[in-house]
Chains A and B, each alone.
Chain A
Amino acid sequence: MQHNWDNAKSLFEAALQQPADQRPAFLQESCSDPGIREEVQKLLAYHAELGNFLTTSPLQRGRPVSESRGPLKAPGDLLARRFRVAQFLARGGMGEVYEAEDLELHEHVALKMVRSEIATWYPNCLQRFKREVHLAKRVTHPNVCRVFDLFRHSDTGENGDPEEELIFVSMELLHGETLSDRLRRGPVNPGEALAVVSQVSGALDAAHTVGVLHRDLKPGNIFLSADGSRGTRVVVTDFGLALSLDEVRTDPANPPSQGEFLGTPAYMSPEQLLNQDLTPASDVYSLGLIMYQMVTGVRPFEDETPNCTASRRLTDKIPSPRTVAPDLDKVWEGVILKCLERDPSRRFQVAGQVLSALRSDSGPVRFFPKARRNSIAILPFVNTSGNPEMDYLSDGITETIISTLSRIPKMRVMAHSTVFRFKGRLDDPQNIGRQLDVASVLVGRVFNRGNMLKIGVELVDVANGRQIWGEQYNRNFVDVFEIQDDIAKEISTKLELKLSSEEKKHLYKRQTQNTDAYQLYLKGRFFWNKRTEHDFRTGIDFFSRAVAIDPGYALAYSGLADSYTTQSFLCPHIPPRELMPQARQTASKALSLDSGLAEAHASTGIIDLRYDWNPISAEKSFQRAIALKPSHAIAHQWYGECLAAMTQFDRSITELKIAQDLDPLSPIINSVLAGMLCFGGQYDQAIEQCQCTLEMHKEFWLALYFLGLSHECRGEFDQAVSAFQRSAVAAQKNPMTLGGLGHSYARAGKKSEATNLLNELRALSERSYTSPVNLALITLGLEQYESAFAELDRAVNARVGWMVFLQADPRFKCVRTDERFGGILQRVFGSPEERRSA
């Protein structure tokens, strides 16, 4: 059977090479098997009849959606007892458009109607339509179609029962044709095109200014209306997809993907195709595609198979319109290509700039700024040894490279906690790079066998997905540092960094020569990053062993200091006086070993702030740390806390936003940003920031804590209590969350719940240490000021870190004028004179 099939096939192919009339003779000659011969003869006959058989996929044979249905309304029909239908104009996806006479105002208008069956497919169709009207009314511009009002109309059926309800919108009646109709007759001359661009960009700017995106700009939504004296009036219609900028912003993780507010794919920007955040530059992209089509008559990639079209807009560089229209002006070419940049930040940010660029007579327009060139994400090296124990090595190598490269000024290196979210994910590196908005991504693989270590690395250009550089290292385990130096050096070269000699020195400064100590350090960081109490202890053990082997290992001392400080913050049942002196001692040791170590300065600063309540000296340490290593995200975060403690909220937010930019996915940094926004009185932004954080990190307790506090500050006590409750559950009743919850109970008038928590914490404090600040907060809420000041007094004696926020935390506001509070303040920050002189 198979044999016959193959024979028949070769014979068939050979016969096709012959002229048709010679085929029978050819078959006779070449094949002795009459069965096969007959089969091939048949197939040849079929072949002659084939025509278009199977050449078009049934799916490609689309046809208009609603062609079979006639208009719903006839001329003369009365709608909503106000409009008399004059004529049917067009059919859209939602329903029909009619010209009608407004019997009340005696003018002709256009009515856009929704078909009842569509209304049933969209349960909240009316809301959407209302929103469309609402948005469109916000935009008033001569080049935007005016929308008047929303109406509902129900017909009475033959038996007297009301039939389905019709929803329609009245709007400005336009005479003329759409740009889509016009383009069907071929390309547009440059003068005409300029008129369209100038008016459409004006309309877009007007919309963008009031925070409305069009989201569905396409030739079918652009009306060319003859306007006697002034030539063509271009009108943008159908703000049906427009979503206000506020909505895009408040719902970042969930913008258009869930909703039905999507544009026509043919004119969608890449970010819209990918469900990413939209900006005015997204409309600029659509405008760019329309310009391309106006001057060339086609859209880019239009003649490819449909499968490729959409994906090529995402992956391939848009070919110059001059490949289609060679005579096109070079300025136009540049402007169009700039509108069509895949990266929204490289496009014109304001639609009006498109027009001014086209009109500029000052020689060739300069385009294509090289944005974000010096930015990189080092993805977690993959441990392919099959031995989970080796994770500390692959993670450690990743971390060392991040840390080394972070020292380079002007280099944006994605921080540890951000890139580690991608650990073990199958995502394509280019995709991750786009998500993180970096120019390049480094991926690596670690494998070890006995003493042999293999590391493979690949540097990927995010813009085009190409490999910039790749290398394979096979080394003895002892050489682990050299491999890292090699990698750091190679990456720097490939990124064409102009390293000064000073920077080079920093880049290659090695912290220890001892392989064992280094391995222990890596293990310590591995456990520190897990941030649980048990892992802190394990981490401290590894760091201690590292410094035991190499007593000159500054970085390991800094690791110890950070472990103690963070543990003291996250585990408030250990007295600060136990942990913080050890933190201080190890941080000083690190500094004495290497005064140029940024990490050590940051460790010192946070101790100055939380233990000595000395924001002034803390500030100096943070500034030094940041000068040494500009992309040390944690230093920026801590500095932000320090500035908030000094009630310099604007500067605080600036620092925290830098930290967030360096480490956008860090739960701690994002929560602290929310907290400091709340301290600074920006409750709305704080709540929004908490919600963003919680979308990334479900039920992260610190974000819930600040969510509760922000609601409380807005007087929304129910929401406050519920957020604090979730926080307490997530943090397993960490006393800090109980303090917050108790205060919010008291403020919500739930005094007995507050008292219960107070008693619970008091019982706890009798058994072991617990931070008195939390007791103070509950008693403050209950207006038991005597007890509150007693607790605050204890908190000063215990040197509790939170006390640094006495002037920032709004919950202390109610006692700020109290003399006793002045006394506490003085004990924490020193006398006003002392503070000034410092």
Chain B
Amino acid sequence: MDGVRGEITLLLHKMGGGDSDAEERLFALVYGELRRLARIYMRHERSEHTLQPTALVHEAFLKLIGTPPINWQNRHHFFAVSAQVMRRILVDQARRRLRKKRGGKNRPISPEEVILCSYDDPELVMSVHECLLRLAEIDERQSRIVELRFFGGLSIEATATILCISPKTVQRDWNYARAWLYGQLKDGHVYAA
């Protein structure tokens, strides 16, 4: 475990420097841990509880890293990366489900997918994902805010801290980005499966 923790810390550092191989490796590690946790949930969670995959992803990180880094520079990476990972997981799942809808291969559903696919709208996920790619070209900060808020499930305050801007700015950008994305979706830029 220590080896993995060391590696994760290293990968976080590398990602800070924009290393895409590091991102791939980190994603693989986190996703593996996530599947493991999901299976555990499947076994033990009782029906009266609802499952929050966001909490799961965070758990996966905790398991891998040990403790969230204490210094803010690393914590920044930590949450930012976890939002990125969640985005990838969701997009991944959404893509598969849409493919299946179009009559793709009927693969048996795995325990972790029962949890990760528990949202109803893969189209929304794909659309937001694709619009965000465009938004990133126009306004990088706004796309980051949407990623952290929507995919990462972070609060306005947490997002502000991560991006080192004031909560007010986050709120303003968030309002604008949401309106813009809403328009994109409404005016037919919806992801075509």
> Do A and B belong to a common assembly?
yes
Q: Is the CB of A306 within 8 A of B153?
A: yes
Mask: chain A, 59-103; 1 = CB below 8 Å from B; 0 = not? 111111111000000000000000000000011111000000000
Q: Is the CB of B63 within 8 A of A275?
A: yes
- Any chain A CB within 8 A of the CB of B158? yes
- Any chain A CB within 8 A of the CB of B16? no
Pair count A-B, CB < 8 A? 209
Answer whether A57 and B176 are a contact pair too, CB < 8 Å, given A92-B47, A118-B42, A310-B58: no
List, in ascending order, chain B residues with CB within 8 A of A425's CB.
6
Q: Is the CB of B42 within 8 A of A93?
A: yes
Mask: chain B, 135-146; 1 = CB below 8 Å from A; 0 = not? 000110000001
**Could you show 10 A-B contacts with beta carbons less than 8 Å apart?**
A50-B179, A53-B182, A57-B152, A93-B42, A262-B37, A275-B63, A306-B52, A307-B152, A315-B67, A428-B69
Cα A13 to Cα B51 in complex, Å, equals 37
User: B17-25, B99-107, B121-129: which lies at the A interface?
Assistant: B121-129
Answer whether A427 and B153 are a contact pair too, CB < 8 Å, given A264-B45, A275-B1: no
Nearest-CB residue, chain B, relative to A121: B111
Instruction: List the interface of chain A (C-beta within 8 A of B).
Output: 1-2, 5, 9, 12-13, 16, 42-44, 46-47, 49-50, 53-54, 56-67, 90-94, 118, 121-122, 180-181, 216, 220, 240-241, 257, 260, 262-266, 273-275, 304-311, 314-315, 425-428, 430-431, 434, 465
- Any chain A CB within 8 A of the CB of B41? yes
CB distance from A179 to the nearest CB of B (A): 11
Q: Is the CB of B155 within 8 A of A305?
A: yes
List, in ascending order, chain A residues with CB within 8 A of B63's CB.
257, 273-275
Nearest-CB residue, chain A, relative to B61: A311
- Any chain A CB within 8 A of the CB of B9? yes
Shortest Cβ-Cβ A-B pairs, 7 listed: A58-B119, A57-B153, A62-B51, A465-B70, A91-B47, A59-B53, A62-B50
Nearest-CB residue, chain A, relative to B150: A54
Nearest-CB residue, chain A, relative to B40: A262
Q: Is the CB of B152 within 8 A of A63?
A: no
Instruction: List the interface of chain B (C-beta within 8 A of A).
Output: 1-2, 5-6, 9-10, 13, 37, 39-55, 57-59, 62-63, 66-70, 74, 79, 82, 86, 89-90, 110-111, 114-116, 118-121, 124-125, 128, 138-139, 146, 149-155, 158, 172, 175-176, 178-183, 186
Q: Is the CB of B47 within 8 A of A64?
A: yes
Cα A9 to Cα B116 in complex, Å, equals 35
Q: Is the CB of B178 within 8 A of A54?
A: yes
Cα A180 to Cα B47 in complex, Å, equals 12
Answer whether A311 and B149 are a contact pair too, CB < 8 Å, given A264-B44, A264-B45: no
Cα A43 to Cα B115 in complex, Å, equals 35
Cα A54 to Cα B116 in complex, Å, equals 18
Nearest-CB residue, chain A, relative to B58: A307
Q: Is the CB of B138 within 8 A of A1?
A: yes
Cα A138 to Cα B49 in complex, Å, equals 29
Answer whether A58 and B121 are a contact pair too, CB < 8 Å, given A16-B175, A47-B175: yes
Answer whether A58 and B59 are a contact pair too, CB < 8 Å, given A118-B42, A220-B48, A314-B68: no
List, in ascending order, chain A residues with CB within 8 A of B151's CB.
57, 59
List, in ascending order, chain B residues with CB within 8 A of A44's CB.
179
Cα A42 to Cα B184 in complex, Å, equals 11
CB distance from B128 to the nearest CB of A (A): 7
Q: Is the CB of A307 within 8 A of B79?
A: yes
Cα A53 to Cα B58 in complex, Å, equals 23
Q: Is the CB of B118 within 8 A of A265?
A: no
List, in ascending order, chain A residues with CB within 8 A of B152's CB.
57, 307
Cα A50 to Cα B181 in complex, Å, equals 10
List, in ascending order, chain B residues with CB within 8 A of A42's CB.
183
Q: Which of B5, B44, B86 contacts A241 (CB 8 A)?
A: B44
Cα A181 to Cα B176 in complex, Å, equals 42
Nearest-CB residue, chain A, relative to B173: A9
List, in ascending order, chain A residues with CB within 8 A of B116's CB.
59
CB distance from B103 to the nearest CB of A (A): 22
List, in ascending order, chain B residues with CB within 8 A of A54's CB.
128, 146, 149-150, 178, 181
